[in-house]
């Protein structure tokens, strides 16, 4: 009994030490994968290298997960848009094949990016339905029900002795990034307001709280300054920022992997007393998605093979030829943006008699090298479900539009608008840019005259962002801009004719 009494202080100390022992967690993370199911080629000083692809990522993660005690894989959104694979209709959803691939890779959770809303509101709901993993989101609220849109503002994961809370956020300017109708049923809450609704409950139930965001690095950094230490880590996306090591803001770590699966992220955490005990700022957290080999075909490999057969059957037909590279640029007019604006003007000249055409350069998402143009090339170049629209404006509306467009070229706050059949000159007056000699079809614009514009519904629905005037009598057609461009390529360049400036 006396010996036992002597040992009591030691037993108490041992119990206290065990309660403070670090619990390990390996966190994997990805973001902005954009349907990059196959590797991409990257130029380096030592030559070209192939990085990315779902199968390579799956193999790399499996090799590590098999030998680690506690793992969690989170994806910070924009799984969709950017490849023919992401354009496939699978399980009644455009982009459904992407979700199925992540199902087969055993993703633990994702948040919604803006590109998950590129097709339609109903399509987004179907993508969420297909997923075996939760789309966590706290700041997108269904206006009809007043409840979180995905039904899961957060998810608590049990890993070993740890409880990890993962709360999702999507960028607050979502309505400016996609067509208005695609998100009109949703209310978008400010980040802090959404977090405050759940943080107390999460903190009481968890050892670690992670924000899974599609806000962009700048927004995440600003958000971190407004939070307390109950938030441990922000896994972010949207800005395609490559962070080789975690950045710490106000005591909160922020990570992001860039885009297109060139890299995946890995953090090795030690959690003690509801916080990360080890210093992550010195930890390399990005790793290239290198090519790997497997002895046996996996379910993922078989699935991708099936989808590739569909792509080959449906999309790989040649429809035309170009003599020069089509290289898009969000912030400058290019050969391809000029041609596309002229193409929709030509397509609809007899039907609508437009005075000019407008498209946004950011809607052109893929370069096509000189040579044959396939239907697949165009679906990847124009991945958005944008419909041709016709609207009008007064001549006096055009100076403000032109001035704003020129400003965006300089500031790069967002992409610019390519026009066809519209020209102007500028001069400086007291250090201010003045727009003058505006012409449509070579004829001076009359301020009080109404001019008809052929464009698409995304541009018409983002008037404040792009046009700086309210469209008059907007009419949305049933014609996809992709279909229009396909027809024009076939008409103009379908018999080995070539595109010239």
Domain CATH number, residue 58: 3.60.21.10
CB burial readout 238-252, b (16+ within 10 A) else e: bbbbebeebbebeeb
Q: What backbone phi and psi angles, to 5 degrees, belong to 363?
A: -80, -10
Range of weakest confidence among 44-48, 266-270, 406-410: 44-48
Q: 352 with 267, same domain?
A: no
Asked if the model's pLDDT at residue 498 lies above 70, the reply is: no
> Looking at residue 57, what is its pLDDT?
98
> Looking at residue 138, what is its pLDDT?
98
Q: 124 with 86, same domain?
A: yes
Q: Is 451 helix (H, G, I), strand (E, B) or coil?
A: strand
Range of weakest confidence among 11-20, 177-186, 273-282, 306-315: 11-20
Q: 298 with 328, same domain?
A: no
d(CA 141, CA 121): 13
The angle at the Cα of 136, spanning 193 to 223, to the nearest 5 degrees, equals 40
Quote the tokens at residue 341: 């604006």
Span 259-288, mean pLDDT? 95
On whether residue 10 sits in a domain, the answer given is no
The predicted-structure confidence for 415-473, as pLDDT tens digits, reads as follows 999 999 999 988 777 667 788 889 999 999 999 999 999 999 999 999 999 999 999 99
d(CA 147, CA 132): 21
On whether residue 6 sits in a domain, the answer given is no
On whether residue 361 sits in a domain, the answer given is yes
Considering only CA atoms, which of 450, 446, 484 is closest in space to residue 359? Answer: 484
Asked if the model's pLDDT at residue 151 lies above 70, the reply is: yes
Q: Where a domain ends, among 279, 309, 339?
A: 309
Q: 197 with 78, same domain?
A: yes
Q: 207 with 267, same domain?
A: yes
The angle at the Cα of 162, spanning 160 to 168, to the nearest 5 degrees, equals 120
> Looking at residue 20, what is its pLDDT?
58
Asked if the model's pLDDT at residue 26 lies above 50, the reply is: yes
Q: 263 with 364, same domain?
A: no
On whether residue 359 sits in a domain, the answer given is yes
Q: Where a domain ends, among 309, 342, 376?
A: 309
Number of domains in the chain: 2
Q: 276 with 335, same domain?
A: no
What's CA 185's distance to the chain center, in Å?
A: 20
Q: Where a domain ends, among 284, 309, 334?
A: 309
On whether residue 227 sits in a domain, the answer given is yes
Asked if the model's pLDDT at residue 66 lies above 60, the reply is: yes
Looking at the chain, the whole-number percentage of residues with pLDDT higher than 90 is 81
Span 175-202, mean pLDDT? 95
If one compares 9 and 90, the residue with the highest pLDDT of the two is 90
Domain ranges, residue 88: 21-309
Q: List beta partners, residue 418.
A: 359
On whether residue 80 sits in a domain, the answer given is yes
Q: 50 with 130, same domain?
A: yes
If one compares 45 and 191, the residue with the highest pLDDT of the two is 191
- State the pLDDT confidence band at 17, using cuts at 50, 70 and 90: very low
> Looking at residue 6, what is its pLDDT?
42
> Looking at residue 496, what is its pLDDT?
56
| pTM metric for this prediction | 0.81
Q: 208 with 355, same domain?
A: no
> Looking at residue 251, what is its pLDDT?
96
Q: 394 with 446, same domain?
A: yes
């Amino acid at each position: 009994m006396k010996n036992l009494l002597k040992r009591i202080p030691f037993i108490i100390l041992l119990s206290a030490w065990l309660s403070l022992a670090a619990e390990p967690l390996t966190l994997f993370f990805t973001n902005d994968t954009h349907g990059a199911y196959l590797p991409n080629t990257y130029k380096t000083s030592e030559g070209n290298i192939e990085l990315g692809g779902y199968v390579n990522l799956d193999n790399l993660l499996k090799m590590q997960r098999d030998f680690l005690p506690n793992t969690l894989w989170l994806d910070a959104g924009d799984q969709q848009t950017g490849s023919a694979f992401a354009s496939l209709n699978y399980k009644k959803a455009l982009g459904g094949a992407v979700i199925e691939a992540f199902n087969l890779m055993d993703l633990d959770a994702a948040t919604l990016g803006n590109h998950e809303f590129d097709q339609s509101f109903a399509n987004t709901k179907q993508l969420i339905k297909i997923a075996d993993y939760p789309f966590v989101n706290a700041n997108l609220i269904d206006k009809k029900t007043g409840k979180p849109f995905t039904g899961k503002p957060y998810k608590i994961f049990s890993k070993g002795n740890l409880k990890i809370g993962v709360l999702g956020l999507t960028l607050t300017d979502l309505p400016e990034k996609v067509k208005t109708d695609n998100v009109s049923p949703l209310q978008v809450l400010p980040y802090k307001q959404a977090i405050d609704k759940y943080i107390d409950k999460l903190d009481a139930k968890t050892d670690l709280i992670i924000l899974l965001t599609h806000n962009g690095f700048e927004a995440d950094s600003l958000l971190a300054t407004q939070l307390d230490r109950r938030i441990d880590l922000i896994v972010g996306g949207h800005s395609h920022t490559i962070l080789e090591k975690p950045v710490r803001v106000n005591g909160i770590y922020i990570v992001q992997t860039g885009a297109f699966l060139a890299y995946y992220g890995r953090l090795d955490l030690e959690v003690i007393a509801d916080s990360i005990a080890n210093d992550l700022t010195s930890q390399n957290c990005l790793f290239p998605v290198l090519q790997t080999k497997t002895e046996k075909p996996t379910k993922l490999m078989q699935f991708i093979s099936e989808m590739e057969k569909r792509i080959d059957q449906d999309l790989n037909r040649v429809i035309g030829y170009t003599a020069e590279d089509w290289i898009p640029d969000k912030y400058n007019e290019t050969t391809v943006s000029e041609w596309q604006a002229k193409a929709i003007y030509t397509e609809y000249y007899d039907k609508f008699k437009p005075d000019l055409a407008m498209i946004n350069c950011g809607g052109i998402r893929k370069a096509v090298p000189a040579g044959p143009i396939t239907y697949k090339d165009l679906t990847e170049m124009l991945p958005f479900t944008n419909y041709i629209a016709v609207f009008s404006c007064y001549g006096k509306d055009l100076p403000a539009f032109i001035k704003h467009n020129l400003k965006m070229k300089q500031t790069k706050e967002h992409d610019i608008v390519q026009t066809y059949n519209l020209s102007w000159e500028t001069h400086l007056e007291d250090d201010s840019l003045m727009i003058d000699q505006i012409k449509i079809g070579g004829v001076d614009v009359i301020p009080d005259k109404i001019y008809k514009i052929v464009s698409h519904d995304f541009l018409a629905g983002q008037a404040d962002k792009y046009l700086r005037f309210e469209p008059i009598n907007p009419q949305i057609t049933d014609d996809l801009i992709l279909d229009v461009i396909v027809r024009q390529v076939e008409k103009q360049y379908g018999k080995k004719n070539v595109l010239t400036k």
